[in-house]
Amino acid sequence: MYYSVSEAGMLLGVCPATIRRWDKESKINCIRTPGNHRRIHRDEIQRIIEGKKRKHDFRFQALNLHF
């Protein structure tokens, strides 16, 4: 399943412009439709969500070490 830029932004908690910027910076993999619209596969959305979770968990663990 593929998501539009707006749908991907809602799922990831960022604005559509961020999705477009990530594509330009090669931080997210997008395909282009024949009309040149970006589409993001659900596996790519999941990859980013998992990365955010790991980053959050790491920061939380680091905070626990200081207290």
Q: Where residue 9 falls among pLDDT bands split at 50, 70, 90?
A: very high
What are the domain boundaries of the chain?
Answer: 2-65
Question: According to the model, what pLDDT value does residue 22 have?
Answer: 97
Q: Say what the pTM is.
A: 0.76
Residue 8, SS3? helix
Largest CA distance in the chain: 54
56 or 52, higher pLDDT: 52
Distance CA 58, CA 34 (A): 40
Distance CA 24, CA 44 (A): 15
Taking only the tens place, the pLDDT of each residue in 16-52 is: 999 999 999 999 999 999 999 999 999 999 999 998 7
- Look at residue 15 and tell me whether its pLDDT is greater than 90: yes
Question: According to the model, what pLDDT value does residue 52 have?
Answer: 77
For domain 2-65, the CATH class is mainly alpha
